Structure formats: C-alpha cells, structure tokens
A and B are shown apart, each in its own frame.
Chain A
Amino acid sequence: MSAIEIKEVVKTYFNRRDSSTVVDKLSIGVERGEVFGFLGPNGAGKTTTMKMLVGLTRPTSGALKVLGEKPDAPEVKKKIGFMPESSSFYLYLSGKEFLSFIADIFGLSKDKKEEKINKLLHEVNLYEARDVQIRKYSKGMGQRLGLAQALINDPEVLFLDEPLDGLDPMGRAEAKELLIKLKKAEKTIFFNSHILSDVEDICDRVGIIDKGHLIAVGTEQLICLTEF
C-alpha cells in the first residue's frame, strides 16, 4: 500500500460570480519511506493539494488516499503530521505550552507528553526558548516550532508546507538535517516548496505543478533531462 495516492483530483472553488479550478486532474503516488518534493510557483495549487491530503478540504472530483484511507478519517489523522505554511500559532502561549496543547489533542499521557516535548524542543533547538511567548519568536523559531508540533504524535506521514521558508542558511541546514534523520527513520515526507535548491538535497522524487496542472514528476535528474 502506498503512503499517498492522488487520482485524477480536481478542486474547483465556486464563488458568487465565477469559479476557479485550482487543481486540475492531479495524479501522484508516493511510496512509504519516500521523500516527495512538490515544486511550483506561488498560487500553483500546492497548498490546496496539501489541504486535501490532510482532510481540511474535499476534492470536487477524484480521490485521495493516505495510508489506504480517506484523509479525513480520524485514524489517518492520528498517524500524520501537518505543518501549515507560515503559521503564527497562539501568540500568547509559550512554545512549551503550545506543544503541550497539541499533545493533549492527541491524548498523550502526562509523562509521555513531558518526555516527547522536551525531546522535540531539543531537536529543533528551541529548548532555551520554551517558556518564551510565541509572539516574541523570530520567524525562524516559529518555523521550527511548526516542525516540532508536526512530530508530536510520531507520525508515519509528514505533510510540510514550505518548511524552510524564512530560515537563515544555518536554520536551513539544521532543518534539512532533521528531515534526513526522519527519512532514515522511514517516515514518508511530502513537502511543498517554491525553491528548487531546498528540494534538491533531500527529495527522492520531485513533482512540478503550475496553475493546477502537474507538469512533470520523477527523480530530479530525469526532470532536468526532460524538455518541457
């Protein structure tokens, strides 16, 4: 069973006067343990696709499956992690309080919670800032916290929307290191980006989307060689 299956998915938003098709007949498959980079300019349909994959929206037509189930099934949600694009979180909570809140939603037991949160805070280098209110975090710190919360439930599949956005070169390197570590732990990672170089180092395969259409998919070399 593949980790992610997208079959002929169409997403159209209907407004009062017109409609706009944001994703048009998209078909992608991602195997378990694979790191898939979804590349495309802003407005191409990457975020909408990801929203459908984490069960926030339903496709107008077509089918999506994550771990063999529909994305909005609660069993699936327990096994995935999602990091939205440039999220701002609850500004008046501290980093630790926020992770604790997410952990509570997953129903983690008290000691497990404490252990997990501290471990994650260390991994994303936020342990020192754990009691600082999020409104005082820099953009990079916010991104790192976003990554941490996506990992709280030890997910099998990770959905990351622009995870390296706003990070300085060192932050980028650290984040990539973390993603590689996760890949080694056989996690499936699906992530959006509009920067090619971010995708280069970690992805097994890459998909390119523009104006809702999948233009190319394959390993990186394949794409470079193909003319389109």
Chain B
Amino acid sequence: MFNRVLAIALNTFRESIRDRILFVVAVFALFIIGSSLFLGSISLDQDIKIIKDFGLTAIFLLQIFIIIFVGANLIYKEVERKTFFLILSKPIKKSEVIMGKWLGLSLTIFLMTALTSLMFFGVLFIKIGTLNGIPYLILAILLGFIEATLIIMISILFSGFTSPILSSVYTVSLFLIGHSSSVVLGIIDRQDNVIIKYIFSVLYYIFPNLEKFNIRNDVLYNSIPVFQTLALTVVYALAYGAALFLIAKFIFDRREY
C-alpha cells in the first residue's frame, strides 16, 4: 500500500512542481520579502521587525496560494482529463489516491517553503548579521506548514465534488473562518439566546480552529507557546486531518464516474 501511495505522491509532486503557477507565487513571495527591505527604511527604524513580519507572512501566503491555485485543480483536472479513470482502473484504492495526493502536495509546499525560508533567512542575516532568533522563526514557519497540510486536506475534500473555482472559494472561506475564532468566541459570549449560543458553539468546534497554528505574532516578542500547547496543537492537527480524510474517502466512494 505504501508504495502505491508513494507513487501517487511523487507523481503529484512532479506535476505540481512543474506547474507554472508555482513560479508566479514564488516571485510574489520574494517580492514581499524584497519590499520589506524598502518599507523598512521608511518605518522609523522598525526595519528588523518589518522584515521579520513580512517574511513570515510571505512564506505563509505562499503556502496558502499554492494550495488554492494548485490544490483546487488537483482532483478536478484528473477527472476532466480522465487520468482519474485510468488510475482507478488499476489495482489501487481511492483512499490511497487521496493519501498520495495529500502527501504529494505537502511535499511540494515543503520544498517551496524551505527555499523561500532560506532566502528569507539570507536577507535577515545580511541585515542583522547574526543568526539569533532564527530557531523561533523556524518554529513559526513549521507550525504554519502543519496548518497548510490541514488546508491541503480541506482543498482535496472540496475538489472531489466541486469545480476548481468553487473549491477555491470554499477553501478560502474555511481558512478565513478558521482564523476568526476569537470573533466567534466574542459572539458566543455576548449572546443571551441559549439556542443561538449553542449553535455557534457547535460551529466553533466543527470548523477548524487555525489560529492555534499562528505564532507568527508571538515569536517576534520571544514568546513561544509552552510544550503542552504545542503538543495539543499537533494532536488537534492529526485528529482533524484524519477526520477530513475519512470524509473525503466517503465522498469519493459515493461518486459516480
């Protein structure tokens, strides 16, 4: 089983790496990092902070954009081009295909993240001359990557039954909702109506809570989460990801080709 998953993964990786969108997105990310150098110079000596903030954000946006542009097409293109028929007529299970696609796109994003991060650290090193603080930045980038793998699974799930455009819209919406948990909590607190409170609370737990993966704001002030919080975050990612996988498998199994 692992070999087949790996075969799909490598194929997905190869296919997405050669997608020209990746190049555009990478240029965009590097542009943000580059502009931080300029903007830093007009920020009244806040340039180090600006470079770090912009760099972390650029890398994260790179991940998200790749998922939205490339990921949405992954399954849809296959069905459209009938390569899906081809694959499924071979001795491979749909769950292996899903796993393989997820792994392949994760590998792609990992590679792009690593490359952009190196550029980012390079720029930072030129600016401040030391490697201090970089481990914290790496931790922030790593957590962001874990979040990205979760969003990949979401994107695959949607692309299994809708067009790429709708799939992108749904994925972006879920992403935004996932990062608005504090707003939702605020609504829950201010609600007097018990029923509405209950509904919102259920929604709060069903929708992915993505802010926990975001320590980009904290690492700049040298405040990283305690080990328990990190462990719980990883557990959440694994559990939620597995749940998404099962839902995706269910959707794919029911589909008619």
Contacts and interface: CB of A to CB of B under 8 A. Distances in A.
| A–B direct touch in complex (beta carbons closer than 8 A) | yes
Interface of A: 13, 51, 54-57, 74-75, 77-78, 80, 82, 84-90, 92-93, 97, 101-102, 104-107, 149, 159
Given A74-B91, A89-B83, A106-B91, 12 more contacts: A13-B256, A56-B88, A56-B89, A75-B91, A80-B89, A88-B81, A89-B86, A92-B19, A101-B7, A102-B86, A105-B8, A107-B4
A82 B3 contact: no
Given A51-B257, A54-B89, A105-B92, A89 B81 contact: yes
B83 A105 contact: no
Which DSSP category, helix, strand, loop or mixed, fits chain B's interface?
helix
Given A87-B83, A88-B81, A106 B88 contact: no
A78 B88 CA distance: 12
Contacts of B82: 84-88
B81 A56 contact: no
Interface residues of B, number: 25
Given A74-B91, A93-B11, A105 B4 contact: yes
A84 B85 contact: yes
Most chain A Cβ neighbours within 10 Å, of B8, B90, B93? B90
Given A77-B90, A84-B85, A105-B87, A56 B3 contact: no
B15 A51 contact: no
9 contacts: A77-B89, A84-B82, A84-B89, A87-B82, A102-B90, A104-B3, A105-B92, A107-B3, A159-B89
Interface string B15-26: 100110000000
Nearest to A53: B89
Interface string B78-122: 000111011111111100000000000000000000000000000
Nearest to A73: B91
A93 B6 CA distance: 16
Most chain B Cβ neighbours within 10 Å, of A78, A104, A149? A104
A145 to B, nearest CB: 11
Contacts of B87: 105
Contact of B86 (A80, A84, A92, A97): A84
A74 to B, nearest CB: 5
A106 B257 contact: no
Interface of B: 3-4, 6-8, 10-11, 14-15, 18-19, 81-83, 85-93, 256-257
B11 A90 contact: yes
A92 B7 contact: no
A93 B14 CA distance: 8
A57 B256 contact: yes
Contacts of A82: 85-86, 89-90
Contacts of A77: 89-91
B89 A93 contact: no
Nearest to B8: A105
A84 B83 CA distance: 8
Most chain A Cβ neighbours within 10 Å, of B15, B19, B89? B89
Contacts of B88: 55-56
B68 to A, nearest CB: 19
Contacts of A74: 91, 93
A30 to B, nearest CB: 17
A63 B8 CA distance: 31
A55 B89 contact: yes
Contacts of A55: 88-89
A54 to B, nearest CB: 4
Contacts of A93: 11, 14-15
Contacts of A104: 3-4, 6-7, 10
Contacts of A90: 11, 15, 83
**List of 5 A-B pairs having minimum Cβ-Cβ separation, nearest first:** A104-B7, A92-B18, A82-B89, A77-B91, A54-B89
Contacts of A107: 3-4
Given A78-B91, A106-B90, A107-B3, A56 B85 contact: yes
